[in-house]
């Protein structure tokens, strides 16, 4: 326990317990009125002490957990100190009866969607949240699916699309785009956005900061009547009117199913709100009935462009929970494959972004080499896209003979293709003008929004999990972290070129000193025995049976662990209960917080800029919606 | 019927025949261009291009046209049906009307050039007719009752109006040098070899025209009215079946038309790039084949250039596109007109480079000087170097 | 120490003329076009129905059941593959084998290929090497959903793409 936490402990005697976890220090807040009252103060204190970034916020339902817990639910806040490279996990327990916690949206913008997700999945309310709506599930959905008493296979018929006008009206009002008359009507207390959750007590004060919301009737009035919407001051003489346009969920540029409702003045976006969840398939709930190894194919489908990084991120978390260390060879192979995946991911991002900008040719130049990288994956793992290559403790297969040479060959071809693309675009004024100064995000804002990975680095913060919390032996490789200066679409776009160059550097170093040896450590409780043992040796067969039928047994405990995936920090918060299946498996997807910011950062820009920004954020719907 | 036709006076007969020829040539040519675009674009982008229908994929566009013909013709429920219905027709109209004044060859001997009508205001006619496109785009955009279509329509109109101005001005230099608006006179003034072509005397005007013509036919990098990744398909989002095919074909017919105009005005029309021997010029039909070949060859070259540009450049943003037209192209082309007028007035005595050399020299010097001076004085930008 | 993304501004220097980079870009694209026109093989596209990609060894294609020398499946209906399957797509009905040295055999062995995620866990889990995914078949097309359920006979008849290993 370090000094800062000592201070916290001394200050908030009974309310707070400080423990030491395998992933750093854990601050536990009891489920008492005084503890809940002190939560904001504790978080504020932690923030003052340097834990300035809210990395993740997730709920846990401890119903049926074998070890008695102080409350049914716990909301876990992962707070990071990027300077001192520390993390603290804050657990706030909250009881089953009307679970309420104070919102931290005023401290971090990232908390907005994270708290919404927590409310959606667990029914934990956050007092003071400006817009506590469902996030991933449909707005007609009844119940909170990640609660342990929500049946796994329960299905609900859902029909009506969310018009999003309730959020849009609030946004318009903040921007001063509504006429005064309407303003007065909206200010009527007691009206709130339609909410289908069963806990939605009428008149509950959950909408405060943004100043209340609009009733369905008012929304209807606003959409039906012409001339109700206000105009920006400087256009008032023209008597223009805002036009609402849905970009997505099916739009050529969304590359997945995302939706943004924008209010347009001409082509300029005056206000925008977003909606996600079209690809929500219940990753976290589904994995609760799989064995630990059985989750790996599910992780493939998070960021499906670089599936193996998700495998490794998940395996790394479970290995840490098991307290085993994988072999040097596996570490090196993971590094090589992860960096190659990162290159592939960036190629896809750049290629798709250029397609959206109209420069179609680059797409094929980049995707040709991507296919070649996939040929290697194909030979190595047995599948092109959903590789399922990681295993807890090791890997599904070792390198095939000549794999390293294949990778070096593809790297060379990739560099040639990138050189072509650089010649085509990197000094092209049309493209430079399209990207420069669009949707600039300052470093402070990016941190507040919980951005990680290339997006955060583009804003000038050199935070990289590979350097800050090294794993898989990254500390032995010589590489640099590229950072941007302005944090606009230009930086977010071109930083990926630099990252690919650094990844290539790492791959070359790792291949040059690839250690020999086994790919699984000698841990009988995690690694499947070699096939020879299984076929010919009764002990091996027994062990095999146990591991297959029961899964890898992970001792009770919980931790958060992160991995530098192509889009940013991919974190897993896993709660183990001693069985072979994860009790709770929370995934912190980098895309979620990136997309949460999207509607706000495109305001004031044009539709074409919004498309360019979206491409630069590299939202992967599989990871966004889980 | 045939007898009645044959009793018509010769000029009318000739005109009707020419119209038929134009239709018989332009539509298949547009279809061929679609095919060529797909082949060449494929090669530019590392793809095989069409290779399924017919030998080496040659029947691909025919198959596409057949497919579109047989598809259901959707009509959005709340569309403005009259506008929606007529927009493709109006869109197609100017692409064909333009050919009325474009001479696509010449009969040798004492016969005249091969065109439908040698209007004395030929270039004016071209400009006037081409602006019908704008109306059609707006009709389609407004009539579809779709927000994406509307945005595309508005973008299309704004773009067409902005780029028509420099386009018209780019003609002015040539008109000043020729002293005529007649397309035939312009081509005849350029006969005698490549050095007599107006591209030599008017390089700036040619470049401006090239840019504007690409913008006029809504092609990359100026395809913002139908920018696929932004507006789904812009003004023709709601169109399907044959009406979509009409938009599609008309776009290529327009590309063909703008290229033909460029060839006529700047690249010497039907004339060969070297002095033509009398043997050929005296043979009535022989010279027609000869001249039509050169015309088609140049048009094909320009179209290939347009495809090549499409395979290279990204798309501009709507406001940048406007800035480019109003703040860059218009001043440049106005300066060109002014310089041409001034220099052309100083020395002007007949046709041929002999009389234009001051204009040619002046503009080339100005172009070069601008590039060099601009390069030297502009603040230096960082060069990106990513080491792998 | 840290690498900075360099800012190239469009309105500065040679970039502001458009022309230079356009020419540079045109040169890049035409270089590709000339290569591809001269040597059609330079285009890396696989013309799918005519040319079929041969999948590398280890590729996880359609499953097959490994037969014994007498043609019956090697499978002993131990249910390990059905248990480990993350998609729950394997359905086995075990039966008593007439040969007393063999305990059980699958009366029914169905794999629902529409549910299957091709993770290869069943192959990994099998203790007797009775199921493999080395058929190299990666295209599935049927007219009915029910036709996607591969039955025991079908799985037995599927052959390996490569010579029998081991």
Give the start-to-end residue ranges of the domains of chain C.
Answer: 5-41, 64-157
Residue A433 forms contact with C (CB below 8 Å): yes
pLDDT band at A391 (very low <50, low <70, confident <90, very high): confident
Least confident segment among A29-43, A482-496, A595-609? A29-43
Give the CA count within 13 Å in the CB-facing half-sphere of C131.
Answer: 31
pLDDT recorded at residue B273: 82
Give the CA count within 13 Å in the CB-facing half-sphere of A13.
Answer: 0
Q: Which CATH topology does A3-127 take?
A: Beta Polymerase; domain 2 (3.30.460)
Is pLDDT above 50 for A348? yes
E strand or H helix at A506: helix A489-512
pLDDT, tens digit, for every residue of A135-165? 888 888 888 888 888 888 888 888 878 778 7
Specify the pairing of strand A24-29 against strand A394-395: unpaired
Is pLDDT above 70 for B293? yes
Distance between CA atoms of residues B120 and B113, nearest Å: 14
Q: Do C124 and A491 touch (CB under 8 A)?
A: no
Contact list in C for residue A502 (CB cut-off 8 A) is: 3
Q: Which one is the CATH code of C64-157: 3.40.50.1220, 3.30.750.200, 3.30.70.3270, 3.40.30.10?
A: 3.30.70.3270
C-alpha distances in angstroms, A609 versus A175, A605, B67, B194?
A: 20, 6, 36, 44
Rounded mean pLDDT of chain A?
Answer: 82
pLDDT recorded at residue B284: 75
∠ CA A98-A102-A106, rounded to 5° = 150
pLDDT recorded at residue B346: 65
Dihedral sign from CA coordinates of A607, A612, A615, A617: negative
Give the mean model confidence (pLDDT) for residues A10-39.
75
pLDDT recorded at residue B348: 57
Specify the pairing of strand A53-61 against strand A259-265: unpaired
Chain mean position to CA A87: 17
Q: Do domains A3-127 and A290-440+452-593 have the same CATH topology?
A: no
Distance between CA atoms of residues B210 and B139, nearest Å: 26
Contact list in B for residue C47 (CB cut-off 8 A) is: 48, 51
pLDDT band at B9 (very low <50, low <70, confident <90, very high): low
Q: Which among A383, A397, A485 has CB closest to C5?
A: A485
pLDDT band at C159 (very low <50, low <70, confident <90, very high): confident
CB neighbour class for B119 (10 Å; exposed up to 12, middle 13-18, buried from 19): middle
Is pLDDT above 80 for B361? no
C-alpha distances in angstroms, B295 versus B103, B200, B266, B287?
A: 9, 18, 12, 12
Contact list in B for residue C30 (CB cut-off 8 A) is: 44, 308
Window 513-572 of A, Cβ < 8 Å to C: 528, 531, 534-535, 541, 544-545, 548-549
Distance between CA atoms of residues A98 and A197, nearest Å: 13
Distance between CA atoms of residues B352 and B178, nearest Å: 10
- Taking a C-beta distance cutoff of 8 angstroms, is the pair A543, A529 a contact? yes
Contact list in B for residue A354 (CB cut-off 8 A) is: 314
Rounded mean pLDDT of chain C?
Answer: 81
Contact list in C for residue B381 (CB cut-off 8 A) is: 8-9, 12-15
Q: Is A16 left (phi over 0), alpha (psi -120 to 50) or beta?
A: beta
Contact list in C for residue B384 (CB cut-off 8 A) is: 6, 8
ipTM of the complex: 0.85
Query: What residue of B is the nearest CA neighbor of C21?
Result: B313
B208 or A182, greater pLDDT: B208
Nearest Cα of chain A lies from the Cα of B67 at a distance, in angstroms, of 23
Distance between CA atoms of residues A512 and A69, nearest Å: 50
pLDDT band at A201 (very low <50, low <70, confident <90, very high): very low
Could you tell me what percent of chain B has a pLDDT over 70? 88
Could you tell me what percent of chain A has a pLDDT over 70? 89
Residue A100 forms contact with C (CB below 8 Å): no
CATH 1.10.645.10 fits A290-440+452-593, yes or no: yes
Structure token digits, residue A12: 């908030």
Nearest Cα of chain B lies from the Cα of A511 at a distance, in angstroms, of 16
pLDDT recorded at residue C47: 82
Most trustworthy range by pLDDT among A457-461, B218-222, C36-40: A457-461
Give the start-to-end residue ranges of the domains of chain A.
Answer: 3-127, 290-440+452-593
Give the mean model confidence (pLDDT) for residues A311-322.
90
- Taking a C-beta distance cutoff of 8 angstroms, is the pair A76, A90 a contact? yes
Specify the pairing of strand A582-588 against strand A568-576: antiparallel
Is pLDDT above 50 for A211? no
pLDDT band at B7 (very low <50, low <70, confident <90, very high): low
pLDDT recorded at residue C13: 64
C-alpha distances in angstroms, A606 versus A36, A272, B187, B320?
A: 44, 11, 44, 11
A222 or A518, greater pLDDT: A518
SS3 assignment, position A167: helix
pLDDT, tens digit, for every residue of C72-99? 888 888 888 888 888 888 988 888 877 7
Q: Where are the alpha helices (DSSP H) in A100-164?
A: 111-122
Query: What residue of C is the nearest CA neighbor of A426?
Result: C8
Is pLDDT above 70 for C111? yes
pLDDT recorded at residue A407: 92
Is pLDDT above 70 for A444? yes
Contact list in B for residue C40 (CB cut-off 8 A) is: 48
Contact list in A for residue C5 (CB cut-off 8 A) is: 458, 482-485, 491, 494-495, 498
Interface residue ranges in chain A relative to chain B, Cβ cutoff 8 Å = 243, 245, 251-253, 267, 354-361, 363-365, 368, 415, 418, 422, 424-428, 430-431, 433-434, 494, 497-498, 501, 504-505, 606-609, 611
Q: Do A428 and B318 touch (CB under 8 A)?
A: no
Distance between CA atoms of residues B194 and A494, nearest Å: 44
Least confident segment among A571-575, B220-224, C108-112? B220-224
Q: Which among A253, A358, A368 has CB closest to B221?
A: A358
Least confident segment among A59-68, A462-471, B3-12? B3-12
pLDDT band at C107 (very low <50, low <70, confident <90, very high): confident
Is pLDDT above 50 for B388? no
Distance between CA atoms of residues A122 and A112, nearest Å: 15
Q: Where are the alpha helices (DSSP H) in chain C?
A: 19-38, 80-84, 121-125, 152-157
Distance between CA atoms of residues A148 and A143, nearest Å: 11
* Cis upstream peptide for A323 (omega within 30°): no
Give the mean model confidence (pLDDT) for residues B131-160.
88
Is pLDDT above 70 for C136? yes
Q: Do B315 and A251 touch (CB under 8 A)?
A: no
pLDDT recorded at residue B47: 83
């Amino acid at each position: 326990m370090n000094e800062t936490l000592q201070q916290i402990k001394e200050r908030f005697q009974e309310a707070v317990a400080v423990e030491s976890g395998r992933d750093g220090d854990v601050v536990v807040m009891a489920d008492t009125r005084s503890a809940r009252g002190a939560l904001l103060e504790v978080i504020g204190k932690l923030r003052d002490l340097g834990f300035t970034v809210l990395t993740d916020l997730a709920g846990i339902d401890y119903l049926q957990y074998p070890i008695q817990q102080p409350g049914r639910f716990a909301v876990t806040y992962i707070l990071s100190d990027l300077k001192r490279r520390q993390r603290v996990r804050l657990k706030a327990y909250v009881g089953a009866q009307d679970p309420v916690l104070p919102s931290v949206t005023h401290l971090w913008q990232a908390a907005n969607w994270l708290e919404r997700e927590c409310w959606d999945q667990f029914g934990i309310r956050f007092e003071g949240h400006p817009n506590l709506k469902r996030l991933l599930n449909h707005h007609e959905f009844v119940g909170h699916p990640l609660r342990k008493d929500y049946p796994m296979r329960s299905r609900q018929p859902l029909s009506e699309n969310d018009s999003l006008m309730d959020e849009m009206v609030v946004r318009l009002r903040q921007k001063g785009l509504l006429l005064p008359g309407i303003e007065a009507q909206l200010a009527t207390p007691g009206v709130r956005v339609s909410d289908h959750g069963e806990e939605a007590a009428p008149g509950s004060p959950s909408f405060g900061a943004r100043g209340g919301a609009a009733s369905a009737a008012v929304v209807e009035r606003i959409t039906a009547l012409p001339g109700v919407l206000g105009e920006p001051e400087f256009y008032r003489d023209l008597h223009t009117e805002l036009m609402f346009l849905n970009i997505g969920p099916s739009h050529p540029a969304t590359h997945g199913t995302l939706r943004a409702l924008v209010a347009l003045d001409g082509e300029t976006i005056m206000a925008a709100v977003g909606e996600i969840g079209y690809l929500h398939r219940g990753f976290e709930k589904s994995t609760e009935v799989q064995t630990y190894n059985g989750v790996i194919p599910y992780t493939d489908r998070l960021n499906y462009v670089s599936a193996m990084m998700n495998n490794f991120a998940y395996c790394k978390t479970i290995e840490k929970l098991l307290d085993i260390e994988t072999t040097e060879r596996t570490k090196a192979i993971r590094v090589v494959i992860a960096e190659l995946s990162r290159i592939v991911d960036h190629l896809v991002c750049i290629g798709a972004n250029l397609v959206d900008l109209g420069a179609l040719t680059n797409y094929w130049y980049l995707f040709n080499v991507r296919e070649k990288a996939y040929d290697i994956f194909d030979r190595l793992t047995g599948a092109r896209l959903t590789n399922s290559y990681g295993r807890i403790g090791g890997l599904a297969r070792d390198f095939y003979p000549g794999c390293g040479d294949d990778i070096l060959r593809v790297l060379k071809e990739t560099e040639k293709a990138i050189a072509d693309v650089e010649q085509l675009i990197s000094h092209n004024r049309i493209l430079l003008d399209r990207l420069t100064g669009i949707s600039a995000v300052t470093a402070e804002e990016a941190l507040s929004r919980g951005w990680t990975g290339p997006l955060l680095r583009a804003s000038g913060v050199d935070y990289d999990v590979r350097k800050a919390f090294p794993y898989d032996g990254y500390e032995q490789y010589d590489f640099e972290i590229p950072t941007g200066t302005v944090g606009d679409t230009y930086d977010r776009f071109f930083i990926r070129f630099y990252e690919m160059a650094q990844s290539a550097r790492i791959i070359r170093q790792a291949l040059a000193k690839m250690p020999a040896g086994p790919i699984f450590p000698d841990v009988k409780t995690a690694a499947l025995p070699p096939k020879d043992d299984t076929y010919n040796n009764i002990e091996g067969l027994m062990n095999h049976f146990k591991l297959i039928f029961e899964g890898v047994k992970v001792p009770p405990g919980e931790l958060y662990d992160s991995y530098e995936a192509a889009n940013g920090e991919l974190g897993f918060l896993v709660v183990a209960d001693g069985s072979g299946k994860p009790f709770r498996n929370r995934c912190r997807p980098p895309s979620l917080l990136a997309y949460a910011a999207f509607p706000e950062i495109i305001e004031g820009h044009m539709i074409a800029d919004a498309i360019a920004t979206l491409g630069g954020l590299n939202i992967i719907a599989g990871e966004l919606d889980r | 019927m045939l007898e009645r036709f044959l009793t018509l006076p010769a000029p009318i007969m000739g005109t009707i025949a020419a119209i038929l020829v134009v239709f018989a040539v332009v539509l298949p040519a547009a279809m061929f261009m679609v095919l060529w675009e797909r082949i060449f674009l494929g090669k530019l982008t590392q793809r095989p291009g069409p290779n399924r229908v017919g030998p080496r994929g040659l029947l691909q566009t025919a198959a596409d046209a057949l497919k579109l013909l047989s598809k259901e013709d959707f009509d959005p429920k709340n569309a403005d049906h009259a506008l929606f219905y007529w927009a493709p027709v109006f869109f197609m109209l100017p692409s064909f009307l333009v050919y009325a004044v474009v001479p696509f060859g010449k009969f040798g001997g004492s016969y005249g050039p091969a065109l439908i009508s040698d209007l004395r205001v030929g270039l004016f006619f071209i400009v006037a007719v081409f602006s019908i496109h704008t109306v059609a785009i707006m009709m389609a955009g407004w009539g579809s009752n779709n927000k994406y279509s509307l945005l595309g329509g508005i973008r299309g109109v704004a773009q067409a109006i902005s780029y028509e101005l420099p386009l018209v001005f780019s003609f002015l230099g040539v008109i000043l040098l020729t002293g005529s608006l007649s397309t035939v006179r312009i081509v005849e003034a350029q006969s005698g070899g490549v050095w007599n072509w107006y591209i030599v005397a008017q390089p700036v005007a040619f470049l401006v025209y090239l840019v504007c013509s690409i913008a006029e036919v809504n092609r990359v990098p100026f395809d913002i009215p139908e920018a696929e990744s932004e507006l789904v398909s812009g003004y023709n989002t709601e169109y399907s079946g044959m009406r979509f095919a009409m938009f599609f074909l008309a776009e290529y017919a327009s590309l063909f038309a703008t290229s033909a105009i460029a060839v006529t005005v700047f690249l010497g029309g039907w004339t060969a790039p070297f002095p033509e021997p009398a043997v050929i010029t005296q043979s009535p039909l022989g010279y027609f084949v000869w001249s039509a070949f050169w015309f088609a060859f140049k048009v094909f070259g320009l179209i290939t250039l347009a495809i090549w540009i499409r395979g290279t450049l990204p798309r501009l943003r709507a406001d940048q596109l406007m800035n480019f037209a109003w703040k860059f192209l218009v001043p440049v082309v106005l300066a060109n007109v002014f310089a041409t007028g001034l220099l052309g007035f100083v020395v002007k005595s007949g046709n041929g480079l002999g009389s234009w050399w001051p204009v040619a020299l002046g503009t080339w010097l100005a172009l070069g000087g601008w590039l060099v001076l601009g390069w030297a004085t502009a603040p230096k930008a960082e060069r990106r170097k990513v080491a792998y | 120490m840290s690498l900075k993304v360099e800012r190239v501004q469009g309105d500065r220097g040679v970039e502001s003329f458009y022309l230079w980079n356009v020419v540079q870009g045109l040169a890049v694209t035409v270089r590709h076009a000339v290569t591809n026109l001269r040597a059609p093989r330079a285009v890396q596209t696989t013309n799918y129905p005519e040319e079929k990609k041969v999948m590398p060894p280890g590729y996880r294609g359609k499953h097959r059941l490994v037969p014994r020398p007498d043609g019956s499946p090697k499978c002993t209906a131990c249910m390990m593959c059905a248990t480990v399957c993350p998609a729950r797509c394997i359905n086995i009905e075990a039966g008593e084998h007439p040969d007393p040295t063999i305990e059980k055999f699958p009366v029914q062995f169905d794999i629902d290929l529409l549910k299957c995620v091709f993770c290869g866990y069943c192959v990994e889990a099998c203790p007797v090497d009775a199921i493999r995914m080395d058929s190299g078949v990666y295209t599935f097309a049927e007219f009915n959903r029910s036709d996607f359920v591969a039955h025991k006979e079908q799985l037995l008849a599927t052959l390996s793409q490569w010579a029998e290993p081991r």
